[in-house]
Structure 1
């Protein structure tokens, strides 16, 4: 790996080799981010194990909250008397999760990984209490947005810290274990959510966060020993890319709001929807200009997009993450609406896809660790995921349990092979000084795609149910049932409507309407994954280094 050198232009990050004790910049200098590569201090096996335990717990609780609400959404909407919150209980979490990722990465570059991670864990703890104590839908959605902001920091910083702790070749094994933890959390999330909603209270979905995040906080506080600079707040504030941070937040929020409102809450040609989408799109130009011309330390340096491999890796993870989240969110709805499963049973029926994703993720980590080969895993995963997702299009009212399981096994294993190889491929062609930023960009794209999956999936489903309106009306459903099954109300009212229908033919028509509307989501996901398969052909093969280097965070003076 090439040794970093000091760069003169003020629009670039200043890199210099400093002794570990030099962590506080003089008052008179312009702050710049110091990503010097420092030799890692030896860690005992016990300390390493405890740090890894804390990191895995941190990721586990964040991953759990991406899916634990899926099977409980109808119950939550019913208890809070608000069908309109169905998409936003999950969507607000994912939206804030995605928009905040690059900001957390830059904060950790400035103030160090440990204090920023502790801040994120503490924020997650507090916002979990807010969600658990929510008395109405607005309070819950606001709490979920704040919780998602913290969750974005947890997911990202765990990946960055693992990158700091281990070499590129060896970190693949720990990334594999990390993704295993992720899919386990995502897998048991719907089951736990169903159990809490059906047997206890939906509020336990959030109370369960407290002991896990509290334990993680204490372990990280005591045992995490990555480089920790003493950056003054004033100097750190000057180094933040404020224009880039605000523009990317506005971009994501406005676009997702516009897509969520369009065709459901408001017509697509309404001034509100048009303004949200148009001005959100324009903010992408503002963001690009800020990163290229204004920011001294860009939130997302555009040089990352100059390499073909980087762009291909980001597009691959976008397509994979979109489909994974869509499956986790809308397969439980299929099980409850079309197959008549309870919330708990729908979570159990989702286990084949999540278990196989866990197997695939662990297998990918071991293979990369042993052989250093990752490109073949990406191609194999994309091919299997395309086939498996395409098979989901065939799901209908008459689909048997073995058929449902087989389809999920193929899709799940393919998806599991794709959790970490694209990140390894991205980091393999990225210089050490850009590892945190590249990982932050990767997490942003992954989180953005999951946010889009929740929102766009909801729009497709709701518009599909509206299209099925005439058929439902022709079946003789009451005006109240038709209202309950229209657009944004359909998912939240699935259980109550089906339980009130005594006519078998009417029940069949309703189930077929749900199956047809959800089928459109699987079609979109299949097309996206196939595009990802094509993009993966542009990823270059790079030898994975076994040299362990650690990024020194903080600020240093300019040397020009």
Structure 2
């Protein structure tokens, strides 16, 4: 990634100084000058007024701007509109497949479980993909920083291709679950690296439009997945849920190989592997898997207070805590630089991402349950019925990208989206067994209008607030946060829904009898939807009402989280979106430069804090500079 000062020019091109321009010191003769400029942007020599966060943001913006108005990195290849369209097509196809595989198996699972005679593996076909995707997401960004975007994107495509092939030819449930985990690793890379690649290709001002394409594709794929999966299962074979990936993924691979023209460092394999934060990778992957497994087991295969669930959740959280300790004190090239979490606005953008995913995924997961259990729709039709949400999301995603490109503003869209999302999901509380289709469609459209803007607007906000060197890791962290929010949301919603169904056992027993009522109690309610259609009309009405009321209570909780999202989004600060673009640097040398810059910035912050507190600095601190501190740290 590029440093914050890469506007340095050869001496013969130096322009006369502008006395009114902010001063940016650049010592051409000193190799370490690149890390000095971030600390010396105020030409007066005085510390700027305002909070430390505002000062840091202003330094980042100023340092990121080229030295001359309209300056552009001369090494950036000039791409035609056709070439950009071809590249975006390949990235959109990659994201389409990765998103499609989240939901395409949902309508095929009963057939798969029956063919392999494995009821216990029913849920793991879907969970293996989601857990592997979430756990692997943070790693892809840093690995692409070391080896370059293009080769790692091709590796992710290849892994997804192999996983899809193995899933299609699976001979038993264990093989299918393992193949789905391989798919998840590749899918996590495809989604993360597509966003990182877009960040490399386009200016901050323009990339919102291209993120909108990715967000719209993701929303459509997630909604159409159950429909496509059901059609394949009924008309051909469930195996085509995975075979369909092979030609499309192969096409994306070929296009990326021949048309994606981003700079790739010649990093030696051994040296690159040595630079990977392996300890951080293992602790992050291990902690995430344990945490998500504990949440997945809880209340379904094991009681929440069982030793298995408690140990998985506790050790998962502890291991993730160890990961952050490793990133802080041990890793020379961390997966998640803790500087990402040092500013309130960055945390607010990540918090908005988590809460947005938490609320949005509930609609994708529980609206089909409402259509099947309360309205009596088939699995395929329930996928069709959520299209109003998907179409509204896609339309607003496109509008968001255009708005950001034209105005350079992202905060109004974030706030508008959070408000509309809260309103839309609040209206879901009123859905019952007698709701009209007009009401159902309008409620979905309002919710979709609220969800759409915040697929990309918080990411644009986060990228504008971090130094350019950290955009890849920030994007990967954003993706991990979204995956984690989605996974936790489904568990929370399921627990609330199951508890509500359990509380209605007395009225169900009075009408359905104890044996039938037990099928709708606790964790078995969602799996017993098909039983409702076989009940007599009077009993069917009671069961549908119970499902509608349980879902209504669950929506109240999601509305509360949406309200928290509104408050969180208010803490995101406004920042300038650059219209200039500079080539992103990757490779080992770029990683060393990033590390030196971070050390210099930390040293400067320590000096400022000591100065503010009016405490005397020790002799070594007084005589040191950010450059000296950075050189000491780099040598270590």
TM-score, normalised with respect to structure 1: 0.89
Query: Is 2:205 the partner of 1:172?
Result: no
Distance across 2 between alignment mates of 1:141 and 1:401: 38
Selected match of 1:544 from 577, 585, 589 = 577
Q: Is the 8 A contact 2:288 2:320 kept in 1?
A: no
Query: Is 2:67 the partner of 1:65?
Result: no
Deviates more, 1:380-389 or 1:514-523: 514-523
Which residue of the partner structure matches residue 556 of structure 1? Answer: 589
Which residue of the partner structure matches residue 532 of structure 1? Answer: 565
Query: Is 2:540 the partner of 1:504?
Result: no
Distance 1:357 1:448, change over 3 A: same
Q: Is the 8 A contact 1:77 1:492 kept in 2?
A: no
Structure 2 unaligned spans of 5+: 9-31, 36-63, 65-72, 594-630, 632-636
Residues 165-204 of structure 1: matches in 2 within 5 Å? Answer: 165-204=201-240
Selected match of 2:373 from 337, 357, 370 = 337
Residues 361-400 of structure 1: matches in 2 within 5 Å? Answer: 361-400=397-436
Selected match of 1:146 from 174, 179, 182 = 182
Q: CA deviation at 1:275?
A: 0.9
Deviates more, 1:307-316 or 1:133-142: 133-142
SS in 1 for 2:581: coil
Which residue of the partner structure matches residue 126 of structure 1? Answer: 162
Distance across 2 between alignment mates of 1:494 and 1:79: 21
Which residue of the partner structure matches residue 491 of structure 1? Answer: 526
Distance 1:104 1:240, change over 3 A: same
Distance 1:331 1:171, change over 3 A: same
Residues 117-516 of structure 1: matches in 2 within 5 Å? Answer: 117-477=153-513, 479=515, 481-482=516-517, 484-495=519-530, 497-501=531-535, 503-516=536-549
Give CA deviations for 1:23-54 in whole Å, capped at 9, x if unaligned. Answer: xxxxxxxxxxxx9x883122233332221111
Give CA deviations for 1:211-238 in whole Å, capped at 9, x if unaligned. Answer: 1111101111111111111212221122
Distance across 2 between alignment mates of 1:485 and 1:109: 50
- Report the structure number with the largest CA radius of gyration: 2
Q: CA deviation at 1:483?
A: 5.5
Distance 1:198 1:110, change over 3 A: same
Q: CA deviation at 1:505?
A: 2.0
Deviates more, 1:538-547 or 1:196-205: 196-205
Distance 1:98 1:305, change over 3 A: same
Give CA deviations for 1:181-228 in whole Å, capped at 9, x if unaligned. Answer: 222222322321232234333322222111111110111111111111
Distance across 1 between alignment mates of 2:117 and 2:522: 17
Deviates more, 1:213-222 or 1:275-284: 275-284
SS in 2 for 1:544: coil
Distance across 2 between alignment mates of 1:242 and 1:505: 60
SS in 2 for 1:329: helix
Distance across 1 between alignment mates of 2:151 and 2:33: 22
Distance 1:217 1:326, change over 3 A: same
Which residue of the partner structure matches residue 85 of structure 2? Answer: 49
- The structure with higher relative contact order (CA 8 Å, sep 6+) is 1
Deviates more, 1:394-403 or 1:129-138: 129-138
Distance across 2 between alignment mates of 1:312 and 1:83: 42
Distance across 2 between alignment mates of 1:311 and 1:437: 14
Q: Is the 8 A contact 2:352 2:458 kept in 1?
A: yes
Distance across 2 between alignment mates of 1:301 and 1:310: 12
Distance 1:499 1:514, change over 3 A: same
Which residue of the partner structure matches residue 3 of structure 1? Answer: 5
Query: RMSD value over aligned CA atoms?
Result: 2.5
Moved over 6 A (4+): 14-17
Structure 1 unaligned spans of 5+: 7-13, 18-34
Q: CA deviation at 1:87?
A: 4.2
- Matched pairs, number: 532
